Amino acid sequence: MDSSNEPAQERHLHWKFAAWDGDEAALEIHWLIEVSVIGYQCEADALLAVQDMVKRQHYRLRQVFECPTCGWQGKTAKAMQDMADAAQR
């Protein structure tokens, strides 16, 4: 067993969505943006997070990929530890 304080690398996903207003059928796209979220296990949850961040008429998944190396887990683990330390004070 590893005695370091580093969290084990676990599977996590990066989701990228295009979000825009306008007529989707006519491809008249206005205010196109790309929104990324990290760590959600399914598209439905990732889409809910995107919709919570930006309000557009249309959303389309553009890319999803698995990533063990971006540091997201380490930052999340550190934030949780910081909260636990603050609660004990």
Residue 43 CB coordination number (10 Å): 13
What does the pLDDT look like over 12-30, one tens digit per residue? 889 999 998 877 665 666 6
- The tens digit of pLDDT for each residue in 50-80 reads 999 999 989 999 999 988 777 666 777 788 8
Domain presence at residue 17: yes
Domain residues for 73?
13-88
- Does 7 map to a domain? no
Alpha helices in the chain (DSSP H): 43-53, 72-88
pTM above 0.75, yes or no: no
Number of structural domains found in the chain: 1
